[in-house]
A = this chain, B = another copy of it.
């Protein structure tokens, strides 16, 4: 039996899940792979804090050097979260020749080049399946199953908090109530900013795009809009037209340039990922040979995430050579920030003649053509009435310029613009 001496950095929810899963699968590892994992050391902040798993006190340490300097430990699993000190600790482990498995998208998306350089220097493995979409094997699929393809696009629902909130809003809740419910259920953090404003999805999309397109994509390359300004009303009007609202992460290669954006978007109801609801995640990938494939499942949660961490640990234990991503300055992507998509505008306008003419004047000035105009209900007295305008697919920058002018019209109150994807 081969015993892999392991250390954990952190012992929060995912760490406890991994600890439990290693125990649950102990016999399977022994009988199928002649393999055992021993968790020798666990770095914690507070030795005395109560834990959800029973760990003998003498394995806990507050000193990372005890792990770095332990020659028996060949595998380190990181569950600290945040960029620092997690990234520096992982780098030290890799430089000491220890393979690292991490669930930390933030540290990876922000410090990947130096982590990768450290791994390549010593031949240690750096695995991160759990950093994107919990238990869904999207990293392994990009690294090993789609290397036969030129990936053309990725479209993902990769933030479960947003997807839960939007699913509840489509059932009639307002944003604030859906967020509060998600927080109650533990699906949103007390400070939900990173999820609802898109930073979380941005990290994940940077990681996926780096693997899919072979370019060093950073979080700063990804255009990002959150979901907090969406209204139940706009969702409902879109639903009436056959669309489902999702917070999408989109990456496309077009003429050698990458389009990278995270934002809410309407999809036609018939699109395969339109029906992925609640806390589920899905990634829809198009390749030049495979055509389209979709992976979906629980995008978060202790045990689904632990599933990915432990499968990475088994890879470390059973592979002789680890895959490596070579980051070079020359390998930066060319970005295309003027991508094409349809638009759904939910406007509240004064119900008087001439307003629509002005609106269409602006659209036409910027070369945009409306696909439909709908006034879902009649005005009563002098109130503003909602008007839904959809456009044919058009250039992003032209739309943004038009929106500035539309918002400046005195007859126009609120303007909510939602992109429309996969309309062809």
- By a beta-carbon cutoff of 8 Å, the part of chain A in contact with chain B is 17, 21, 24-25, 28, 31-33, 129, 135-137, 140-141, 144-150, 214, 272, 275-276, 287-298, 301, 303-304, 306-311, 313-315, 318-321
**Cα distance A360–B291 in the bound complex, in angstroms:** 50
What residues on B are CB-neighbors of A275 within 8 Å?
Answer: 272, 275
A147/B303 contact (C-beta < 8 A), A137-B141, A291-B297, A295-B294 known: no
Q: Nearest Cβ distance between residue A406 and chain B, in whole angstroms?
A: 37
A144/B315 contact (C-beta < 8 A), A289-B310, A295-B293, A307-B289 known: yes
Q: Nearest Cβ distance between residue A422 and chain B, in whole angstroms?
A: 15
Rank and list the top 6 A-B pairs by shortest CB-CB distance, nearest first.
A293-B297, A148-B310, A137-B145, A135-B290, A289-B307, A290-B307
Minimum CB distance partner of A276 in chain B: B272
Question: Cβ of A148 and Cβ of B307 under 8 Å apart?
Answer: yes
Enumerate 17 A-B pairs (CB-CB under 8 Å) in ascending A order. Answer: A21-B148, A21-B289, A25-B149, A25-B150, A135-B291, A137-B144, A137-B146, A137-B293, A144-B315, A146-B307, A147-B314, A148-B306, A289-B307, A290-B297, A291-B298, A294-B297, A296-B296
Q: Most chain-B CB neighbours within 10 Å: which of A31, A147, A214?
A: A147
A290/B303 contact (C-beta < 8 A), A145-B129, A214-B32, A311-B144 known: yes
Question: Cβ of A303 and Cβ of B289 under 8 Å apart?
Answer: yes
What residues on B are CB-neighbors of A307 within 8 Å?
Answer: 145-146, 148-149, 287, 289-290
Q: Nearest Cβ distance between residue A118 and chain B, in whole angstroms?
A: 21
Minimum CB distance partner of A320 in chain B: B320
**Cα distance A78–B56 in the bound complex, in angstroms:** 53
Minimum CB distance partner of A35 in chain B: B147
What residues on B are CB-neighbors of A297 within 8 Å?
Answer: 290-294
What residues on B are CB-neighbors of A301 within 8 Å?
Answer: 291
In the complex, besides A148-B314, A272-B275, A293-B297, 5 extra interface pairs with C-beta distance below 8 angstroms are A145-B311, A290-B304, A291-B303, A292-B297, A319-B319
Question: Cβ of A296 and Cβ of B298 under 8 Å apart?
Answer: no
A28 partner, pick from B129, B150, B294, B296, beta carbons under 8 A: B150
What residues on B are CB-neighbors of A308 within 8 Å?
Answer: 145, 148, 290
Question: Cβ of B140 and Cβ of A144 under 8 Å apart?
Answer: yes
What residues on B are CB-neighbors of A311 within 8 Å?
Answer: 144-148
**Cα distance A232–B166 in the bound complex, in angstroms:** 37
What residues on B are CB-neighbors of A314 within 8 Å?
Answer: 144, 147-148
Q: Nearest Cβ distance between residue A165 and chain B, in whole angstroms?
A: 20
**Cα distance A275–B274 in the bound complex, in angstroms:** 11
What residues on B are CB-neighbors of A291 within 8 Å?
Answer: 135, 297-298, 301, 303-304
What residues on B are CB-neighbors of A147 within 8 Å?
Answer: 32-33, 311, 314
A318/B315 contact (C-beta < 8 A), A291-B298, A307-B146, A308-B145 known: no
